[in-house]
Amino acid sequence: MPITPALLQKIQIPEVGRLTDYVIQNNRHISPRFLSREFLTMQDRYADRYYDTFCHDAGVMAKCLEQGKNPELPGVIYSAMCKLTEFFPRKLEYFALKGYQVAERNGDFIHMMARLNDLKKVYKNNPDKLMQYIDVLYGQERCLKELCYNYNNAISTFRSVSRPPASRESYYLMLANTQTELAKLIRRKYPDQAKKKLLCARNIYSRDRIESPERNRASIAYIDMNLRKIELIKLIQES
């Protein structure tokens, strides 16, 4: 870890520096639960009074931990910071992107989904970020397909200090919602691809074991409306 000492010097709050150094020195023996507890204690102590400084130091701390031999630890910091920066888009985007990269390296599809959800908050309803928003939806679709089709393998890489993974059927519903939203955004440029996604989503909503039949009927009706729009778009494009 050759650049870790230089990174450590960039930490401004002494207690954050001490915790970072301790975790680095005992990297393999530190559990995510321990780190989460200690970090949240510091967050309670410093985030309100020194918000920008704490965010900076947390980012440096996470970078240091990325160079350690415990791949689960950096994600603990990035997850906590995504919650802390929820209403600060630029900071949230930074921590969510970094957290996504860590989760991707770990093959942790559930935390990849969580960080993509954070990025959706940044890009949604922002016309200047439409392409980034669409890219996030494609990323979520890939994660959700893995969680749906290879559920047991996908959840085996999930490590959380707070809650268990959702059920397979919950991920199927998320996949249908994502495919429907994505199809709506790409239907003019890629009508055939959008149609395929809508039909996949429709099939999920039609399954007997999916809960909330009334809500699913409404979703199917919405999909059918979009399928009709796609056929109209194709007719116009071919005329």
What's the confidence (pLDDT) of residue 122?
98
Q: What pLDDT score was predicted for residue 69?
A: 87
Q: In terms of Cα–Cα distance, which of 55, 146, 81, 57 is closest to 108? A: 146
- Give pLDDT, residue 3: 45
Structure confidence at residue 1 (pLDDT): 46
Which one-letter amino acid corresponds to residue 94? Y
Interacting residues of 173 by C-beta distance below 8 A, sequence separation 6+: 204, 210
Q: What is the pTM of this model?
A: 0.91
Look at residue 210 in the predicted model and tell me its pLDDT. 59
Taking 60 as the threshold, does the pLDDT of residue 208 lie above it? no
Query: pLDDT for 98-143, tens place per residue?
Result: 999 999 999 999 999 999 999 999 999 999 999 999 999 999 999 9
Q: CA 179 to CA 200: how far, in whole Å? A: 8
Residue pLDDT, tens place only, 54-85: 999 999 999 999 998 899 999 999 999 999 99
